[in-house]
């Protein structure tokens, strides 16, 4: 995340270049960079805004009561407000590696007939996925997280700025964010999306929702992918849906295949409804 | 390994608070990690100890409270205990549950000197 202080996400890059920005976050923690009157307190640190006279207390307990994800959530709220103003319907695609996320995005872009789609790709390494997206004609920004196992709201804020510079954030359009393939960590990090969409391919086990409940609990839509392979695998569709609804009651499900095209009309209709709702609330 | 990211958040929160309070060092950090929270608490504790090196909290003792999971069962119209996600309501065996407590990840307080 930060190339100048080494804290956190020093290995993160955007289209191959390190993130570069003034320092909005607090480096007072690091002795090597601490200096008097460094970063101004942000809204996230409200509980301690009361003034304390330095050095007067020998030892005491300070009440903090602050959520660990407060800083990420505040940045996610900024991203969400920015997208809402433009009427952009943004989705955060999460799944294990190899569930067919990029293939689904490519096929969706190819079939979509309601305006431009911008894409943010998240991977630890390589820009292969962004290249696949760009081959469709859509604009894509590639975030490489280095060792990081998930996208966060800070990275996505930078990617949004990059898309804006490329004039690729069109009002009332779609923004598809492909998270790092990982069924664990991305669940905790709000990016500012309208919905998390979890993809489960039929070549995986139908009990994945029970093994990785946080992700399925965080999602607003389950896409069962690669259904063309169902005749060749022992995947119980009804059981998978039942498991998913144990952790997320009433989770909507669309079964689809980019190979056969089955379910794609239903998926595109879902996207179109979301886009229209986002556009209706823009401004 | 998002525990390391979360540990860095812990230390950002702790460092900012301690500095503003004029502390010279942090001797203790108390966290609340609910039983249903999306994190492995033992790993988080270890990551906090690693991430605190060379910071104002280098000597701090990190302790983690584990508030138990609680959920509202729509079928029972009652609050019930929930050990982990994916388990049914212990009363009716249903799954129409919404969480009421036990998913928090929070810095409760710090001891400073």
Q: Which domain holds residue B63?
A: 2-68+102-112
Does residue B21 belong to any structural domain of this protein?
A: yes
Strand partners, A223: A199, A254
CA distance B13 to chain A (A): 8
Does residue B74 belong to any structural domain of this protein?
A: no
If one counts the domains in chain B, the total is 1
CA distance A185 to chain B (A): 6
Does residue B12 belong to any structural domain of this protein?
A: yes
Average pLDDT of span B70-81: 96
Return the structure tokens found at A258.
């980019």
User: What proportion of chain A, given as a percentage, has pLDDT over 70?
Assistant: 83
Q: Which chain B residues touch A28 with a CB distance below 8 Å?
A: 15-16, 19
Q: What is the DSSP string of A64-98?
A: EEEETTHHHHHHHHHHHHHHHHTT-EEEEEE-STT
- A77-136: pLDDT as tens digits: 999 999 999 999 999 999 999 999 999 999 999 999 999 999 999 999 999 999 999 999
B31 burial via Cβ count (<10 Å: 0-12, 13-18, 19+): buried
Task: Say yes or no for a CB contact (<8 Å) between A25 and B12.
Answer: yes
Q: Does A245 touch chain B (CB under 8 A)?
A: yes
Does residue B93 belong to any structural domain of this protein?
A: no
Average pLDDT of span A41-48: 38
User: What proportion of chain A, given as a percentage, has pLDDT over 90?
Assistant: 78
pLDDT at A229: 98
User: What proportion of chain B, given as a percentage, has pLDDT over 70?
Assistant: 99
Task: Say yes or no for a CB contact (<8 Å) between B1 and A34.
Answer: no
Task: Say yes or no for a CB contact (<8 Å) between A28 and B16.
Answer: yes
pLDDT at A20: 64
Does residue B96 belong to any structural domain of this protein?
A: no
Q: What is the DSSP string of chain B?
A: -HHHHHHHHHHHHHHHHHHHTT-S-EEEEEEEE-TTSSS-HHHHHHHHHHHTTTBTTTTPEEEEE-PPPEEEETTTTEEEE-SSTTPPPTTT----EEEEES--EEEEEEEE-
pLDDT at A272 over 60: yes
Query: CA A171, CA A156: separation in Å to the nearest integer?
Result: 18
Burial B66-93 (b: 16+ CB within 10 A, else e): ebebbbbbeeeeeebebeebbbebeeee
pLDDT at A28 over 80: no
Query: CA A190, CA A185: separation in Å to the nearest integer?
Result: 11
pLDDT at A48 over 70: no
- Which of A33, A64, A180 best probes binding to B when mutated, by most B CB atoms within 10 angstroms? A64
Q: Which residue of A has its CA nearest to B86?
A: A247
pLDDT at A47: 39
Q: Which chain A residues touch B13 with a CB distance below 8 Å?
A: 45, 64, 66, 68, 70
Q: Which chain A residues touch B19 with a CB distance below 8 Å?
A: 28-29, 34, 38
> What mean pLDDT, rounded, does chain A reach?
86
How many alpha carbons lie under 13 Å from residue A95 in its C-beta half-sphere? Answer: 25
For residue A246, the SS3 value is helix
* Strands A89-94, A174-178: pairing kind: parallel
- Residue A29: which of B12, B85, B95 has the nearest Cβ? B12
pLDDT at B25 over 90: yes
Task: Say yes or no for a CB contact (<8 Å) between B105 and A29.
Answer: no
pLDDT at A35 over 50: no
* Domain spanning A87-280: CATH superfamily: P-loop containing nucleotide triphosphate hydrolases (3.40.50.300)
CATH code for position B9: 3.30.2320.50
pLDDT at B86: 84
Beta-carbon contacts of residue A125 (< 8 Å; ≥ 6 apart): A144, A146
Nearest CA to A87 out of A144, A32, A169, A168 is that of A169
Beta-carbon contacts of residue A160 (< 8 Å; ≥ 6 apart): A79, A82, A83, A120, A169
SS3 of A158-181: HHHHHHHHCCCCCCCCEEEEECCC
Query: CA A78, CA A194: separation in Å to the nearest integer?
Result: 13
pLDDT at A42: 39
Q: Which chain B residues touch A67 with a CB distance below 8 Å?
A: 104-106
User: Which one is predicted more confidently, A48 or A79?
Assistant: A79
- A228-238: pLDDT as tens digits: 999 999 999 99
- A177-211: pLDDT as tens digits: 999 999 999 999 999 999 999 999 999 999 999 99
Query: CA B107, CA B105: separation in Å to the nearest integer?
Result: 7
- Residue A71: which of B1, B12, B110 has the nearest Cβ? B12
- A145-164: pLDDT as tens digits: 998 899 999 999 999 999 99
Q: Which chain A residues touch B55 with a CB distance below 8 Å?
A: 29-31
Angle A133-A281-A85 from CA coordinates, rounded to 5°: 65
pLDDT at B1: 65
Query: CA A269, CA A253: separation in Å to the nearest integer?
Result: 13
Give yes or no for a contact between A47 and A62, defined as CB atoms under 8 angstroms apart.
no
Sign of CA dihedral A244, A245, A248, A253: positive
pLDDT at A26 over 80: no
Q: Which residue of B has its CA nearest to A48?
A: B17
Q: What is the ipTM of this complex?
A: 0.91
Strand partners, A67: B106
Does residue B106 belong to any structural domain of this protein?
A: yes
Give yes or no for a contact between B19 and A34, defined as CB atoms under 8 angstroms apart.
yes
How sure is the predictor about B38, in pLDDT bands with cuts at 50, 70 and 90? Answer: confident
Average pLDDT of span B77-102: 94
B contact set with A (CB within 8 A): 1-2, 5-6, 8-22, 24, 27-28, 38-39, 54-57, 84-86, 88, 95-97, 104-113
Rg (alpha carbons) of chain A, rounded to whole number: 21
Q: Does A6 touch chain B (CB under 8 A)?
A: no
Does residue B91 belong to any structural domain of this protein?
A: no
Give yes or no for a contact between B36 and B83, defined as CB atoms under 8 angstroms apart.
no
């Amino acid at each position: 995340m930060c190339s100048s202080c080494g804290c956190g996400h020093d290995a993160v890059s955007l289209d191959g270049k390190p993130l570069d920005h003034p320092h909005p976050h607090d480096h007072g923690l690091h002795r090597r960079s601490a200096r008097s009157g460094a970063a101004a307190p942000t809204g996230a640190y409200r509980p301690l805004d009361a003034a304390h006279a330095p050095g007067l207390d020998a030892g005491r307990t300070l009440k903090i009561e602050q959520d660990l994800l407060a800083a990420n959530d505040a940045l996610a709220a900024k991203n969400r407000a920015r997208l809402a103003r433009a009427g952009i319907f943004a989705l955060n695609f999460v799944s294990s590696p190899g569930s067919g996320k990029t293939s689904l995005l490519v096929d969706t872009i190819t079939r979509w007939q309601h305006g431009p789609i911008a894409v943010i790709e998240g991977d630890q390494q390589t820009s292969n996925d962004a290249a696949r997206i760009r081959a469709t004609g859509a604009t894509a920004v590639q975030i490489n997280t280095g060792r990081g196992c998930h996208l966060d709201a800070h990275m996505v804020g930078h990617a949004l700025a990059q898309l804006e510079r490329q004039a690729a954030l069109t009002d009332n359009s779609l923004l598809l964010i492909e998270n790092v393939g990982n069924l664990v960590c991305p669940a905790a990090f709000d990016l500012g999306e309208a919905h998390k969409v979890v993809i489960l391919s039929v070549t995986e086990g139908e009990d994945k929702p029970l093994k990785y409940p946080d992700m399925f609990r965080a999602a607003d839509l389950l896409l069962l992918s690669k259904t063309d392979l169902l005749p060749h695998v022992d995947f119980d569709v009804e059981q998978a849906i039942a498991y998913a609804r144990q952790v997320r009651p009433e989770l909507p499900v669309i079964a689809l295949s980019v190979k056969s095209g089955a379910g794609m009309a239903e998926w595109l209709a879902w996207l179109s409804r979301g886009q229209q709702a986002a556009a209706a609330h823009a401004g | 390994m998002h525990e390391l990211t979360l540990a860095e958040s812990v230390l950002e929160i702790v460092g900012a608070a301690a500095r503003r309070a004029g502390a010279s060092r942090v001797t203790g950090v108390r966290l609340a990690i609910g039983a249903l929270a999306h994190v492995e608490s033992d790993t988080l504790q270890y990551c906090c100890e690693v991430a605190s090196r060379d910071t104002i909290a280098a000597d701090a003792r990190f302790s983690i409270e584990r508030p138990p999971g609680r959920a509202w069962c729509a079928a029972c119209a009652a609050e019930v205990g929930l050990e982990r996600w994916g388990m049914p309501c212990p009363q009716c065996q249903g799954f129409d549950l919404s969480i009421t407590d036990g998913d928090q990840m929070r810095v409760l307080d710090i001891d400073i000197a």
